[in-house]
Structure 1
Amino acid sequence: MGVNNGEKEKDAVAAGYGTLMSHQQRVVNEKAQNDTRLEALAKFFDSAVFARLEDEDKFLLRYQYSIMKQLSGVLGDRIARF
């Protein structure tokens, strides 16, 4: 089952955003998840596995990283308006 409202408010306060509405908390959570994935993908770029990929796959992963970085910026802009 989902998190109750009290726990959502605690999550928002802990993140430094004060009390957020549920849809705002989802944006905060989405940005955090995306940023965690961005960090993992950036580390993957330095791996031996990445080095062995075909050029097209490397290109697509770098493109994916670029899009995820843009998404992080947009989500950050939305959060700043809360």
Structure 2
Amino acid sequence: MPAPILNPSQRDPRDVDPTDHYHPADPVWVYRGGTWCAGVVETASAGAATVTYRPSGSRGTGVDTITAPYVFPRMETDPMLDKAKR
């Protein structure tokens, strides 16, 4: 499944998984800077998830704590984020 095409505000709340649905090392899409970026969950609770993500094709990473509408499951492998899992 490729990156979502919807802005988080356009997502149907019934289709948004709560952040405590995610577990450490889960691959996700993260909405940051107006685009969906590949990320990996570091930790999650009922209120938010902390993720490491790769901003817009950058080789660097960022870490942020975000709420459920801004996180989406990711199936694609990201060579910069997922290489440690191989």
Short-chain TM bin: under 0.3
Query: Which structure has the bigger radius of gyration?
Result: 1
**TM-score, normalised relative to structure 1:** 0.22
Which structure shows the higher strand fraction? 2
**TM-score, normalised relative to structure 2:** 0.21
Which structure shows the higher helix fraction? 1
